[in-house]
Chains A and B, each alone.
Chain A
Amino acid sequence: MKKLLDELQQAALQRETRRHFLHTCSTGLGAMALGSFLESCGFAGGASDKKAVQAPVTGSSDESPMAVQPAQFSGKAKRVIYIHMAGSPSQLELFDYKPELVKYNGKDCPQELLTGKKFAFIRGVPKMLGPQGKFAQHGQSGAWVSDYLPHLQGVVDDITFLKAMHTDQFNHAPAQLLMHTGSARLGRPSIGSWVTYGLGSENDNLPGYIVLASGGKQPDAGKSVWGSGFLPSVYQGVQCRTDGDPVLYASDPAGMPRSLRGKTIEAISAINQQQYNDVKDPEILTRIAQYELAYRMQMSVPDSMDIKSEPQYILDMYGVDPNQGSFARNCLLARRLVERGVRFVQLFDWGWDTHGTSADGSIDVGLHDKCRQSDQAVAALLRDLKQRGLLDDTLVVWGGEFGRTPMQENRDGQTLPFMGRDHHLDAFTVWMAGGGVKKGFSFGETDDIGYYGVKDQVHVHDLQATILHLLGFDHEKLTYQFQGRPFRLTDVAGKVVKPILA
């Protein structure tokens, strides 16, 4: 009797522990590609914690970890393009128009703004710095956008601006981690990993979560911002590179033609099949499937990354030089990838950290350049998605990891050669478009100098909760069992920003 009870308890415990599911199938995870182990892996039970609202999934025969999964409820967005301007653009030059700040330009910062505050670089008493852009209202919605972004001015009626964003971190790496993983420390899964874990991928021949970086550097927090943390590594972002192999090792060795690669894969599979006949380990069948997928990916990835097939007018619309890696090219690639069913496309563009220590890193020179390099392509991406009918169910998010101060930076008490602003965690702007958010809408307000949000503030965790909501997930219920407790993207916080939902 006792033994029976023990077993029942244990069986229940194992069913409830997705971790166990992942491990037992970790002879493994891939084994599910062939489906024969779903029942015995307790897939139904395991899946129930990511779809807490949904009835348990029955083990369909083509279930792989990347197989398409229904969301918890019907979300308007089916996929995401997240454009992260690493280093953090100045909201005060681009979107958050503060005429009052003009008056304070060049004056000492009032002490009450400094008391109890910590800055990354500002020391002592800095001077206030007025907005450097020329602002006007645009579109039917009358959105404020400066002359730094002339192209974006034309698409504001598709955008919702979140003008009172705030975060907890004023250094790049922790703030980027917080933005993408919900925690300022390393080790948590990124939002793209959560989304592919929740929804799977719609294209078998491409990774479900693709990362494209431009600007010459990785984001400050490195690959961890697209890492899978404690989620299985199949859910980590795959970086497609603009130089060399788009996916690492996707190219066959020089001198080996495709036909021969095809024959080697056939030979590997044939021998593996014989090995399976001898030893009956289902993991071998998974391996056969993965080799065949690898072979297809070798074709499909370069194909999706090859923009030479795009008509000239599209290249012109984005402002792309097809022979050069660039942010603009990545925008076009993002469209090509979502078109092909990639679930989450993450763009990083490095170089938005405008302290004023150099021409490149300044708001009077560098920020203009960054805007010039990106503005046309971002506007084109929205137009292009729209004309293809993709914008309705593709969510586009644009933003940095924090904002910038209304004060001019005085690093280490010195006057800097260019105009710059320090990191600021209390107020910044993020915008979203498509995928179930309102069109031509602005949410949240900051005070007269753009220092604090004063109305409808949105925390990073709220933004994440909202993105998951738009994809059909309750952020409190998309969880993963780790270290003895369920973890989620939004940690122990986050509220869906309902007023921006269409």
Chain B
Amino acid sequence: MYLKSFVFIGIGIGGALLLSSFFGLFGERVDFNTQVKPLLNKNCIACHGGVKKAGGFSVLFRHEAVAPTKSGKPAIIPGDADASEMIRRLTLEDHTERMPLEAAPLKPDDIALLRKWIDQGADWGDHWAYTRIEKPDVPAIGTFWSRLGLRNNAELDWAKNDIDHFTLQKMKEQSLLPSPQADRATLLRRVSLDLTGLPPTEQEVADFSNDKSSGAYEKVVDRLLASPAYGERWTALWLDLARYADSKGYEKDTERKIWRYRDWVINAFNQDKPYDQFVVEQLAGDLLPNRTDAQLIATGFHRNTMTNDEGGTQDEEFRTAAVIDRVSTTWDVFQGTTFACVQCHSHPYDPFTHEEYYKYLAFFNNTRDEDVQSDTPTLRFFKDQDSVRVAELKTWLIAQKTQPEQVQDWVNFVRLTEPKINSHDFDQYVNASLLDAKNFGVQDGGSARIKTVNLTGINRLVIAIGTKAEKAVLTVHQDSPTGPSLLTIPVINTGGKDTVMVYALPQVTGKHALYLTLASPKQLKEWVVIKWVSFRPALPGTSATTLSDMDAKLQAILNAKPESTPVLVEATGDMARKTHIFERGNWLVKGRQVQPDVPKSLPPLPTDSTGKPVPRNRLGLAKWMVQRDHPLTARVAVNRFWEQLFGTGLVETVEDMGTQGIQPTHRELLDYLAAEFMDTDHWSMKRLLKRIVTSATYRQQSVASPELIAEDPFNTWLARGPRVRLTAEQVRDQALAVSGLLSHKRLGPSVKPIQPEGIWQSPYNGESWQLSEGEDQYRRAIYTYWKRTAPYPSMTTFDSPSREFCQVRRIRTNTPLQALVTLNDPVFIESAQSLATLMQQRGKTPEQQIKAGFRQVTQRDASPQKMAVLLKLYQQSATYYEQHPADTQTFLGGANATPQVAALTVTANTLLNLDETITKE
């Protein structure tokens, strides 16, 4: 037996020796992703990659790396390092040929590694984030006996759910021990701020502290997740990603009413709309079958791109900029991949080619918005008489036994005013001009062309037109400016405003160029301005040749000016856009035409439930993104939620999971959470959050020993709880909440709370900051009006981005300007005054009052030392204000202006500025 196995081992060893000498297998296999790829990225890829392929050699893809180079032979010959030019060039003495050029040579160890890798076959590996998400095994913790329940074990006692098994394993690898659970008040404050963005009330703290039942914490979590404040808190995060703003950006930066999209996000979070649906509706809600208004409003996500109204700017340039922004934002937000560089050249590090960028862009390049000043298309919300008219129109259509699709088409037309041709698309101007580079204007004797219109089945011209001229006449000609006249329109002097008019067109078939000519003999130089035209069939049941009452009704509806919100509308038929590659990213230099598709290094477009391929449009793309096989979507989502709770993501670079991003600290945990998010929780964000916040890892105290801080300064290994400064929104909301000022009014148009004079000074924009009235001054921060070129100052001081573009991650800073905000901003002074009044009501002595105030703000009792500091400040302040009654009056105003209240206000101001107040502990 012994002998037998000895012989067997001997043969084994001999065989292995033989094999290893044969295959060059000294030691274990080289791992491409962790060992080779970083070397290539650092030393080679700048010249031999997505941007440049010097010598015809690239190490971005395997097929490129092993292909013949300019010299005619491959630089890497799998299995034969000695014959590989790459190795030869790395090891040369001659500086003119040795690689990397003009840089230090690679270390011998690195070269040996590359040599070994080539000898082993030069296998490529997929970057971890591009591989399918599989649920990893949950690491075992505790001892064998304790797992059987036969012995107590600290690990098992500590862990609350599977998350803790993963974190504990990493802690053990680092020889760290987990921290105990935070005290109840601190934990409640943490989880309340995290889930609802607001601190708990005193009553909530008392309830939780007194609830001795085993599920007390879970009950709290459920209550918070069910609170309407939950949606508001997570919307604050989402608005950065959606680059939401109440203005259009660029020079003029005038108002855009798109708050209905913000409300959609709040409602979606509160209803716990599954994340996959949340994604699909925002990217492609307009394309869903039987879409609702809400699903259309959701597409506002990508209507938050900027619109440039500056005089002289070309609409097509900025339409293109908006489409490119949609591509970048989609990747940043949902795919955690930096895709912007692929606009100009293939990705330098990650497996995406230049052509794939434009194939992907093609999904987004087919919407009807065209950087027009009106932000059209917008979804219009009719009221009063207008909504009656719309209802009558619908009733009429149904009474004519119109097909449901056709009814929908007419409803779409009045609600979206699409499809239409914006007048910036006219060409062949004579005595005409694109006024201010925006709208088509024509003078007497002038003309322009509408390139092609399919007139088959068309009986109506709908035109938005206006002038100050008297007796101008516009004629529509077929095929040439002197061709057959189809229609002659007397243009009404509208005082310059545009009016929508409906005219009957004679029956013509086929596609034609149409020419618009103007005769304006009374006022030769007065402009007639056309904003858009639309060619439509006659309303069902009306005469093709003569206008009826229904046409008048239609015209009235189209001229209504109801509230509206920008949405995506897909172009169809002749209006569908073609997408070309832009050479070197320049939109003016168009290369080959491309069809919509997804990058090859990711799974292909899926099939739907009936086995048919999904459509090659935004809806198909959105479904692709949320299919189970997609490697990025769920990982990116759970990583973002983790980052929001812990301050740092499991992949720290939330915006980049590619090869240039920071490697995950807990890759298995990330995959576990992503798999559970999809498979078990069915994309429920609330369940994901509950899973995380009920873990022991999350519940740990953030207090740490100097030793632990020295060992793990940034809490990478999660051996303590998160301790992170509040966000800009939370800083404001908390101050208003603890001082009793916060309004809980939800949803609706954005509001303008108090802001210093002179912040808004946009050129050519008459808008001003009109202070909101009543409780609207005290709404949560997400309702504050957001102007891109002049955002609300205290928000940006606390690191809010300006929302010109999507910013995936806010970099937290700690600056003196932040101190000035919480010390002196009138919002915080008013909060201090209000808090002082509360404090006064809650105690008889200054000591009692300050204690109450401290508890009100921090949800815990002040230590005697802190009380001593605050009492001293109170006394000093009270003494000052007793001696200076005029200052007391100035400081407080109003009836309650006593030295005591003034001193309490100073104390309250101090409380609102404590580190422990503006920090989640």
Contact with A along B737-766 (1 / 0, CB 8 A): 000000000000000000011100111000
A304 to chain B, nearest CB (A): 15
Given contacts A172-B310, A412-B527, contact A23 B652 (CB under 8 A): yes
For A127, the chain B residues whose CB sits under 8 A away are none
Q: Contact: B820 with A9, CB < 8 Å?
A: no
Q: How far is the CB of B557 from chain A (nearest CB, A)?
A: 32
A265 to chain B, nearest CB (A): 8
Q: Does B489 contact A (CB under 8 A)?
A: no
Contacts of A291 in B (CB 8 A): 816, 819, 913
How big is chain B's contact interface, by range? Answer: 35 or more
Contacts of A248 in B (CB 8 A): 756, 793, 797, 817, 820-821, 825
Contact assessment for A255 and B892 in the assembled complex, using a CB-CB cutoff below 8 Å: yes
Binds B, one of A115-123, A330-338, A375-383, A445-453: A115-123
**Contact A298 to B250, CB < 8 A, known contacts A20-B652, A260-B880, A484-B341:** no
- Residue ID in chain A nearest B253 by CB atoms: A222
Interface pair B714/A290, CB less than 8 Å apart: no
**Chain B residues with CB below 8 A from A217, complex form:** 761-763
A203 within 8 A of B: no
Q: How far is the CB of A157 from chain B (nearest CB, A)?
A: 36
* B-side contacts of A221, CB under 8 Å: 250-251, 789
| Min C-beta distance of B749 to chain A, whole Å | 23
Q: Mark A17-44, 1 if CB is under 8 A from B, else 0.
A: 1011011101111110000010010000
* Given A248-B820, A260-B877, A290-B818: A268 and B757 interface contact (C-beta under 8 Å): no
Q: In this assembly, does A252 line the interface, its C-beta being within 8 Å of a C-beta of chain B?
A: yes
Q: Does any Cβ of A come within 8 Å of B887's Cβ?
A: yes
A414 at the interface (CB under 8 A from B): yes
> In the bound complex, what is the Cα–Cα distance between A22 and B919 (angstroms)?
19
Is the CB–CB distance between A251 and B824 below 8 Å? yes
CB distance from A6 to the nearest CB of B (A): 5
Q: What residue of chain B has the Cβ atom nearest to residue A253's Cβ?
A: B829
Cross-interface CB contact of A220 among B310, B815, B865, cutoff 8 Å: B310
Taking a contact as CB atoms under 8 Å apart, the answer to whether B873 and A280 are in contact is no
Contact B648–A9 (Cβ < 8 Å): no
Contact with B along A197-238 (1 / 0, CB 8 A): 000000000000000010011111111100100001110001
Are B824 and A185 in touch, CB under 8 angstroms?
A: no
CA–CA, A290 and B815, complex, Å = 6
Residue interface bits A97-141, CB-to-B below 8 A is 1, else 0: 000000000000000000000111101100000000000000000
Instruction: Say how far B345's CB is from chain A's closest CB, in angstroms.
Output: 11
Closest chain A residue, CB of each to CB of B525? A414
Q: Does the CB pair B811–A297 fall under 8 Å?
A: no
**A74 contacts partner chain B, Cβ-Cβ < 8 Å:** no
Does the CB pair B888–A279 fall under 8 Å? no
On whether the beta carbons of B663 and A257 are closer than 8 Å, the reply is no
Least CB distance, A301 to chain B, in whole angstroms: 10
Q: Which of A221, A245, A256, A283 has the most CB of B within 10 A?
A: A256
Q: A6-B34, A223-B790, A294-B817 are in contact. Are A281 and B723 (CB under 8 A)?
A: yes
| Interface pair A249/B821, CB less than 8 Å apart | yes
The answer to whether residues A173 and B310 also contact, given A19-B653, A255-B890, A290-B814 and a CB cut-off of 8 A, is: yes
A222 and B338: CB pair below 8 A? no
| A222 & B655 in contact (Cβ 8 Å cutoff) | no
* Nearest chain B CB to A476 CB, angstrom units: 13
Chain A positions within 8 Å of B576 at CB level: none
The B456-508 residues at the A interface (CB cut-off 8 A) are: none
Distance of A280 Cα from B706 Cα, bound (Å): 6
Name the distance in Å between B457's Cβ and chain A's nearest Cβ.
Answer: 37
Q: Is B656 an interface residue (CB 8 A)?
A: yes
Q: Which of B191-199, B262-270, B562-570, B697-705 contacts A (4 or more CB under 8 A)?
A: B697-705
Of A220, A238, A286, most buried by chain B (CB within 10 Å of CB) is A220
A247 & B820 in contact (Cβ 8 Å cutoff): yes
In the complex, per-residue mask of A38-69: 1 if CB is within 8 Å of any chain B CB, else 0? 00100000000000000000000000000000
**Pairwise interchain contact B34-A2, C-beta atoms closer than 8 A:** yes
**Binary per-residue interface labels of chain B (809-845) against chain A in the complex, 1 for a CB within 8 Å, 0 otherwise:** 1011111111111011110010000000000000000
Q: Which B residues are CB-close (under 8 A) to A247?
A: 817, 820
Q: Return chain B residues, CB-CB under 8 Å to A121.
A: 311-312, 436
A residues less than 8 Å from B762 (CB atoms): 217-218, 222
Tell yes or no: A241 within 8 A of B by CB: yes
**Smallest Cβ distance from B656 to chain A, in angstroms?**
6
**Interface class of chain B by DSSP:** loop
- Most chain B beta-carbon neighbours within 10 Å: one of A14, A247, A252, A485: A485
Q: In the bound complex, what is the Cα–Cα distance between A218 and B793 (angstroms)?
A: 15
B residues within 8 A CB of A13?
38, 662-663
Q: Is the CB of B725 within 8 A of A256?
A: no
Kindly identify, within residues 667 to 726 of chain B, every residue whose CB is under 8 Å from any CB belonging to chain A.
Answer: 702-706, 709, 713-714, 723-725
Interchain CB contact under 8 A, A9 and B35: yes
Give the complex CA separation of A1 and B113 in angstroms: 13
Q: Per-residue 0/1 for B876-893: is the Cβ within 8 Å of any A Cβ (1 yes, 0 no)?
A: 110010001001111110
In this assembly, does A263 line the interface, its C-beta being within 8 Å of a C-beta of chain B? yes
Instruction: Considering the complex, give the chain A residue whose CB is closest to the CB of B705.
Output: A280
Contact A173 B915 (CB under 8 A): no
The answer to whether residues A283 and B34 also contact, given A172-B310, A252-B824, A253-B829 and a CB cut-off of 8 A, is: no
Distance, CA A304 to CA B222, complexed state (A): 54
**Stretch touching chain A among B391-399, B778-786, B798-806:** B798-806
What distance in Å separates the Cβ of A39 from its nearest Cβ neighbour in chain B?
A: 10
Interface code A254-291, partner B: CB below 8 Å = 1, 0 otherwise?
Answer: 11110111011011101110111011111110111011
- B310 close to A22 (CB less than 8 A): no
* Neighbouring B residues of A170 by C-beta, 8 Å: 312
Bound complex: CA of A213 vs CA of B814, how far in Å?
26
Given contacts A218-B761, A267-B910, A485-B348, contact A28 B813 (CB under 8 A): yes
- Most chain B CB inside 10 Å of its own CB: which residue of A27, A31, A37, A286: A27
Question: Nearest Cβ in chain A — how far from B747, in angstroms?
Answer: 28
Q: Smallest Cβ distance from A218 to chain B, in angstroms?
A: 4
Q: State whether the Cβ of A250 lies closer than 8 Å to any Cβ in chain B.
A: yes
Question: Complex: how many Å from CA A56 to CA B437?
Answer: 52
B723 touches A257 (CB 8 A): no
Can you name the residue of chain B whose Cβ is closest to the Cβ of A122?
A: B312
B821-A282 in contact (CB<8A) = no
Is A279 a contact of B340 with CB atoms below 8 Å? no
Known: A253-B829, A267-B910. A290 touches B816 (CB 8 A): yes
Q: How far is the CA of A294 from the CA of B286 in the complex (A)?
A: 50
Contact B756 A244 (CB under 8 A): yes
Residue of B nearest to A264 (CB): B910
* CA A213 to CA B869, docked complex, whole Å: 42
Contact residue among B42, B312, B443, B660 (Cβ-Cβ distance under 8 Å from A423): B312
The CA of A121 and the CA of B796, in the complex, are separated in Å by 35
**B812 adjacent to A27 (CB under 8 Å):** yes
Chain A residue at minimal CB-CB distance from B35: A5
Minimum distance in angstroms from B308 CB to a CB of chain A: 8
The listed residue with most A CB atoms (<10 A of its CB), out of B253, B793, B819, is: B819
In the bound complex, residues from chain B placing their C-beta under 8 Å from that of A241 are 758
In the bound assembly, the distance between CA atoms of A485 and B656 in angstroms comes to: 11
Task: Report, nearest first, the 4 A-B pairs whose CB atoms are least far apart.
Answer: A222-B789, A255-B891, A30-B814, A120-B312
Q: Provide a sorted-by-A list of 16 A–B residue pairs whose CB atoms are within 8 angstroms.
A: A2-B35, A9-B34, A13-B38, A29-B813, A121-B312, A218-B762, A221-B789, A222-B790, A255-B889, A255-B902, A257-B884, A278-B703, A287-B819, A290-B819, A294-B816, A412-B527
- A245-B756, A255-B891 known; 10 new pairs, CB 8 Å cut-off, are A5-B34, A12-B38, A23-B648, A173-B251, A257-B887, A268-B914, A274-B865, A280-B704, A298-B820, A413-B433
Which B residues fall within an 8 A CB radius of A?
A: 27-28, 31, 34-35, 38, 42, 249-251, 253, 306, 308, 310-314, 321, 338, 340-341, 348-350, 433, 435-437, 441, 443, 525, 527, 647-648, 652-653, 655-656, 658, 660-663, 702-706, 709, 713-714, 723-725, 756-758, 761-763, 788-791, 793-794, 796-797, 799, 802, 804-805, 809, 811-821, 823-826, 829, 863, 865-866, 869-870, 872-873, 876-877, 880, 884, 887-892, 902, 906, 909-910, 913-916, 919, 921
